[in-house]
Amino acid sequence: MKNKYTAVIKKDAGWWIGWVEEIPGVNSQGKTKVELLKNLRSALGEALEFNLNFKAYPATLPR
């Protein structure tokens, strides 16, 4: 089952900018809407992979 995420996108000063509402820090930009969506998918994939790896291998912090 695939999760669904909400992308907020808008055009600002000649650039398309956007972010994923459900995951803080997942944002991107592109010269075209298509480029922005490609970049957002990439950023989302990296964030999800990082979080999955972080949960699998939590850091041991010194006390």
For residue range 4-53, list pLDDT tens digits in order. 999 999 999 999 999 999 999 999 999 999 999 999 999 999 999 887 77
Give the count of beta carbons closer than 10 Å to the beta carbon of residue 19. 20
Strand-pair category, 15-20 with 27-30: antiparallel
H-run or E-run covering 9: strand 7-12
Domain spans of the chain? 7-54
In this prediction, residue 2 carries a pLDDT of: 79
Answer whether residue 61 shows pLDDT above 60. no
Contacts 24+ apart (CB under 8 A), 34-40: 36/9, 37/7, 37/9, 40/7, 40/9
User: Which residue in this structure is represented by tokens 């997942």?
Assistant: 26
Report the predicted TM-score, pTM, of the whole model to 2 decimal places. Answer: 0.77
